[in-house]
Structure 1
Amino acid sequence: MIRRLETIRSELLLRGDDRGCIREIALRWGFHNLNHFSRVFRRYFGLPPLTYIRQRTRGPCTEP
């Protein structure tokens, strides 16, 4: 799980300005419930995915 989350985080940071990036990447890595993904991501990284991306890339992205 940790490796998947680390990989997802890396992909999100690379594609943070793509519309729908969170949904697309989470689904590709097996998170079919986006609410669950957001909770797991927040538990591991301390922030929800969109906030995490915005703080690091300052680019727009959609909320799961």
Structure 2
Amino acid sequence: MTCRTFARISLFDFDVLREAFRNSVLDLRIAEAGWEDHDRMLVETLADEEPEDDLMPRIIGR
């Protein structure tokens, strides 16, 4: 399976983003309804770029 997103972000960075997302959702007690907004903010902050649409569901785990 080829993923356009992985050409722009390393697997290591993806793993870091996903773990940061999971930890922050638990620590901040963010309801599932707010996960997408939180994920977008987290990627923009940590990766310093706008996340691609196919990246966000992968980080969230959907």
Tell me whether the two structures share a fold, i.e. TM-score over 0.5: no
Higher helix fraction (1 or 2): 2
Task: Please tell me the TM-score bracket, short chain as reference.
Answer: 0.3 to 0.5
TM-score (norm 2): 0.44
TM-score (norm 1): 0.43
